[in-house]
Amino acid sequence: MFIPSLLAYWQAILYAATCCVAVEANSTLLAGGTIIAFNEGENALQVIRDGSLLVTGDRIAGIYESGKTPSDIPEHTVVNVTNKIITPGFIDTHRHGWQTSMKTLASNTTLWEYFGRFSEFASVGVFSAEDVYLSQLASVYEAVNAGVTTVLDHAHHTWSNETSNAGLRASIDSGARVFWAYAFHNVTNFTVPEQIANFRDIAQKSTFKDTPTSLGIAYDYFGSDPEEQVKDIVDLAMELNVSVVTTHTLQGPFGSKNTASKGLAILLTIPVSNSPIHLEQLGLLASSIPIVFSHASFLTYQELQLLRKTNQYISITPESEMHYGHTHPHSHLAMDQAALGVDTHFTFSADILTQARIWLQKVRYLIFTGPLELWRVPSNNPMSVNQAFLLATRNGGLALHRPDLGVITEGAKADLLVWDGTSPSMLGWNDPVAAVILHASVGDIEHVLVDGKFVKKDGKLTNTDYPAIRDRFLESAKRIQGVFLERARPIPEPGEHFGGEDVGGELMEVMLVDAVRGDGSGYGTEFLDGSKP
Ligand SMILES: *[C@@H]1O[C@H](CO)[C@@H](O)[C@H](O)[C@H]1NC(C)=O
Ligand SMILES: *[C@@H]1O[C@H](CO)[C@@H](O)[C@H](O)[C@H]1NC(C)=O
Ligand SMILES: *[C@@H]1O[C@H](CO)[C@@H](O)[C@H](O)[C@H]1NC(C)=O
Ligand SMILES: *[C@@H]1O[C@H](CO)[C@@H](O)[C@H](O)[C@H]1NC(C)=O
Ligand SMILES: *[C@@H]1O[C@H](CO)[C@@H](O)[C@H](O)[C@H]1NC(C)=O
Ligand SMILES: *[C@@H]1O[C@H](CO)[C@@H](O)[C@H](O)[C@H]1NC(C)=O
Ligand SMILES: *[C@@H]1O[C@H](CO)[C@@H](O)[C@H](O)[C@H]1NC(C)=O
Ligand SMILES: [Zn+2]
């Protein structure tokens, strides 16, 4: 297997960064397609048929209706997009990129099980810096391939200087727009003060400068860590004016404060609170820094009003919230302050298109149960494809306080997708928004641009190193999976509570459903190669 040396690797990157600048035209005209633009005056999507879109440098320089493309555009490349649909890139506001290596190991887990087996605390010492690099890079490539051009990465692979730096480097190398949010957490062998020194070093070196990647902070212990430590993190965020602060928020039966808990003989610290009220008290909500609350499943009405007042957002991760069991009882009433996210992509769909589609139908289901409970019949539909589309694109930009992301308007960042409108799944569309949200698959995405550069072209990632990266990733993932497969599944103790007795609700075993006729033994097995019997 070919493993390029680090030097050869950096040389290749330097070459890629310098070789072609002089010969490439600055501008690209995507000509003759259907554009799903955003009309700022009307605050709504606007469809332009047979239109053209001019990309100059990293920005959208012009959007032209049929027959109105100016004839005097300076030197530019034309890409014929007849029969294609142009949309903004999707925005994933919650992901943990380092976890790719564990793919398919958690297909029937709950959040309680996840903490004991796969979380940042359970993974300390398992991943080398190289493992983190490859797993993170594979994640961002998976996202980019699926049309996700911006990722808010809650990077809790910060177990040492080396693993932290590796995840950042992978984010930069991916070419995607990564809001890389360094997680501060109480992990073995790497104290929070050491993490702060590492973070300052990263900020000072600014290796991400002039790339689409930027530096944020992830922190899950606003309500529980020692006060001085919380203050240190808040001060750091303010001092460095980071691009984002993000936190996991659950509450409800998942608890209202953090604590240490025993499980699998690993000492866990479960993030369960991080209410907007805590962050308000710390002065964070009213700062100019965007704050993203992941899940916020049990947000109260008052907390939502606080987010509206301070214009901060929640990240709804529809599939993860259903998979792990925290759900999202009221999130459909918070969509004006919400964007979409994926979360632990090693466990389920890693693309925002799927999240948007699942969420749209979930909201419809939720609202339809109202009349059905009264034996009445719904006569209208509560949520539109436009709303799902906006959640997946523009709202992500708004959550990051970046109105230039997730929209096609003049001057916005040229983070764009070109869809093959004649694929077997899309053929026959009339409304392009419905075509994308309800009919397309990520395989229909032909081109992906970030900052005006093609990162996927003609259905393939443009990085010619991808096959070599894939091989290295597979080697690494095989070793990592071996470690996790050795671990026994956790079994709850009788009367055990989530996060401890004074924190969360008591665990409860749910019924199993059955897709096989017979005696109820149809749950089946997970087909994991190499697991202990
Ligand atoms: C690229 O764009 C810059 C300004 O946007 C302009 O000065 C330069 O001439 C352009 N180069 C080419 C090759 O078009
Ligand atoms: C663009 O593509 C369409 C469909 O393939 C084709 O009919 C048309 O001739 C092309 N236009 C140009 C200018 O090449
Ligand atoms: C922590 O460091 C000690 C001493 O170097 C080492 O033996 C141990 O394996 C480390 N623990 C983890 C989880 O990495
Ligand atoms: C950090 O975790 C250790 C055990 O791993 C625990 O003893 C300590 O109290 C924790 N510190 C904080 C600030 O939570
Ligand atoms: C980690 O990086 C910080 C900041 O550069 C440095 O002060 C510290 O010595 C490093 N720690 C180790 C174990 O290399
Ligand atoms: C922080 O950075 C943002 C984005 O660059 C900028 O708009 C804002 O004014 C800065 N805030 C402070 C307090 O420097
Ligand atoms: C998930 O699947 C595994 C393997 O079949 C099984 O042992 C386990 O009981 C299942 N988990 C639950 C919560 O049923
Ligand atoms: Zn998460």
Q: What is the pLDDT of residues 223-279, one digit of tens each?
A: 777 889 999 999 999 999 999 999 999 988 987 654 433 333 233 444 457 999 989
Angle at 504 between CA 499 and CA 509, to 5 degrees: 90
Q: Which CATH class is domain 90-399?
A: alpha beta
- Paired strand residues for 48: 35
Give residue-wise pLDDT tens across range 396-434.
999 999 999 999 999 999 999 999 999 999 999 999 999
Residue 272 makes CB contacts below 8 A (sequence gap 6+) with: 250, 251, 254, 255, 256, 257, 258, 498, 499, 503, 504
Helix 161-174 and helix 129-145, axial crossing angle in degrees, nearest 10: 30
CA 89 to chain centroid, in Å, comes to: 13
Minimal-distance CA residue to ligand 5 atom 2: 198
Ligand lying nearest the CA atom of residue 420 = 2
The segment(s) of the chain belonging to CATH 2.30.40.10 are: 8-87+407-458
> By the 8 A CB rule, do 98 and 127 touch?
yes
CA of 96 to the centre of ligand 8 (A): 7
Distance CA 270, CA 185 (A): 11
Place of tokens 């808040």: 234
> By the 8 A CB rule, do 152 and 93 touch?
yes
Distance CA 381, CA 270 (A): 38
The DSSP secondary-structure symbol of 216 reads E
pLDDT at 3 over 50: no
Please, is 10 exposed, middle or buried when counting C-beta atoms within 10 Å of its C-beta (0-12, 13-18, 19+)? exposed
Give which of 253, 252, 192 is closest to 218, Cα–Cα.
192
Q: Is 74 in the pocket of ligand 1 (CB under 6 A)?
A: yes
Alpha helices (H) in 374-465, listed in sequence order: 385-392, 394-399, 432-434
Give residue-wise pLDDT tens across range 49-102.
999 999 999 999 999 999 999 999 998 999 999 999 999 999 999 999 999 999
CA of 108 to the centre of ligand 5 (A): 39
Q: 445-450 and 266-269 as β-strands: parallel, antiparallel, unpaired?
A: unpaired
The segment(s) of the chain belonging to CATH 3.20.20.140 are: 90-399
Can you give the pLDDT at residue 365? 98
Fold exhibited by the domain 8-87+407-458: Urease, subunit C; domain 1 (2.30.40)
CA of 211 to the centre of ligand 8 (A): 25
Q: Is 206 in the pocket of ligand 6 (CB under 6 A)?
A: no
**Beta strand spans in 421-465 (E):** 445-450, 453-457, 460-461
Residue 55: both structure tokens together: 């990309």
**What number of residues does the chain have?**
533
Ligand lying nearest the CA atom of residue 262 = 4
Question: How far apart, in Å, are the Cα atoms of 323 and each of 111, 221, 392?
Answer: 8, 24, 20
